[in-house]
Amino acid sequence: MIRVPTICLLLGLSFWVVACHKGEDPAKPSDDKAQAPGAPNQPAQQSTEELKTVLAKIDDVTITLAEFQERINRQSPYIRARYTSLEQKKEFLDSLVRFEVLAKEAYRRGLDKDPEVVRTMKQVMIQKLMREQFDTKVSADNVADAEMKAYYDANLAEYVKPEEVRVSAIIVKNKAQADRVAIEARGDAGKTNKGFRDLVMKYSADEDTKLRGGDLRYMDKDTKDIPANVVKAAFTLYNTGDVSQTVDAGNGTFYVLKQTGRRKSVTKTFEDAKATIRNKLFRDKRLQAQKDFVDGLRTKSKIEINEANLAKVRIDTSQAVDDGHGHDIAPPPGAMNPATGLNPPPPGVPGGKEP
């Protein structure tokens, strides 16, 4: 069995060499790119003929000046800076030659037809297909202001939030008992959150809040599901850890409160929230466009699903799988997106950071 790192390398090799065997130049830039005006700190324009200059030949595979420059300029600026001298350029060219030599050997052995290589190559092709299909058609710039404003108005609670306070409560049905509990809670016994929770378990008569250690969660001044007197008293506890005196809830129960958190009010105008909304709507539009695209392709395909046979599928739930040579194969990095069928690009594919 081929190990995962080998598979990733072979994918890159087979992808590159198949293109070469088809007579394509995978790295050759278009004439438009060749004639594009140079940006600052870039070399002067080169003619199409100059870009066709041959730097190396490996049997029937040719590495041109255009391919070399495309490959090296694909690296980060830091990496590119390492290849400015002739000696360093020779080093980079040698890495391309090594790549082609290995690719040809992998192709000679038929590894381009290996099921794992084919499957991973399909994933790379799908990624390229989806980029070509959607990168220009669906962009954040296509999201209209009116659409963003409509979203803002419909979700105003996300952008305009009142001040909130969080408290825990010991709830009893007798004021005299509540007064005694308040004295205990305001002393050493209630100083820590654990200590206060212990008092909740010992004294509180409300089973629902008792299960949560007395936590009433965050509330604002307009909260309706907690007695108004309790809400008002909660907002008088300014510091985390403050414990109240007895609070008469007005419904026959008495509360002892401990403040456990406070959130300041938040007000984001439409202009403040615009960039975030644009990105969200862009992502939603892109996912929907991808789903529609895939659904359209599915309707054009003859697909037969035998759900009865799914019961025969056996899932290995162990943490690692032995490759037969005493080595553990880690699960592939990243998770497939069910909407697009895409995985993160594997290492070793042409276009990665290393040649």
pLDDT digits (tens, 9 = 90+) for 273-300: 999 999 999 999 999 999 999 999 989 9
Range 160-267 has CATH code 3.10.50.40: yes
Query: What pLDDT shows up at residue 21?
Result: 41
The full set of domain ranges for the chain reads 4-113+304-329, 160-267
Which are the contacts of 243, defined by CB distance < 8 A and separation ≥ 6?
182, 185, 186, 190, 196, 237, 256, 257, 258, 259
Is the pLDDT at 108 greater than 80? The verdict is: yes
Give the pLDDT band (50/70/90) at residue 319.
Answer: low
Q: Is 97 helix (H, G, I), strand (E, B) or coil?
A: helix
Is the pLDDT at 327 greater than 60? The verdict is: no
Q: What is the pLDDT of residues 143-191, one digit of tens each?
A: 999 999 999 999 999 999 999 999 999 999 999 999 999 999 999 988 8
Query: What pLDDT shows up at residue 29?
Result: 42
Is the pLDDT at 228 greater than 80? The verdict is: yes
Q: 270 with 319: CB under 8 angstroms?
A: no
Mean pLDDT along residues 108-132: 93
Give 34-50 as a DSSP string.
HTSPPPTTSPPP--HHH
Q: 320 with 328: CB under 8 angstroms?
A: yes
Q: 199 with 181: CB under 8 angstroms?
A: yes
Query: What pLDDT shows up at residue 41?
Result: 55
The mean-pLDDT minimum among 4-18, 54-68, 224-238, 292-306 falls in 4-18
Give the pLDDT band (50/70/90) at residue 337.
Answer: low
Query: What pLDDT shows up at residue 32?
Result: 42
What's the mean pLDDT when you consider all of the chain? Answer: 81
Is the pLDDT at 38 greater than 70? The verdict is: no
pTM here? 0.52
Q: How far apart are CA 129 and CA 135, in angstroms?
A: 10
Query: What pLDDT shows up at residue 43?
Result: 59
Is the pLDDT at 342 greater than 60? The verdict is: no
Is the pLDDT at 328 greater than 80? The verdict is: no
Q: What is the pLDDT of residues 70-101, one digit of tens each?
A: 888 888 888 888 888 888 888 888 888 999 89
Give the pLDDT band (50/70/90) at residue 257.
Answer: very high
Higher pLDDT, 222 or 10: 222
Give the pLDDT band (50/70/90) at residue 44.
Answer: low
Give the pLDDT band (50/70/90) at residue 26.
Answer: very low
Query: What pLDDT shows up at residue 338?
Result: 39
Give the pLDDT band (50/70/90) at residue 335.
Answer: very low
The mean-pLDDT minimum among 31-45, 51-65, 333-347 falls in 333-347
Q: How far apart are CA 235 and CA 253, in angstroms?
A: 19
How much of the chain exceeds pLDDT 90, in percent?
Answer: 52
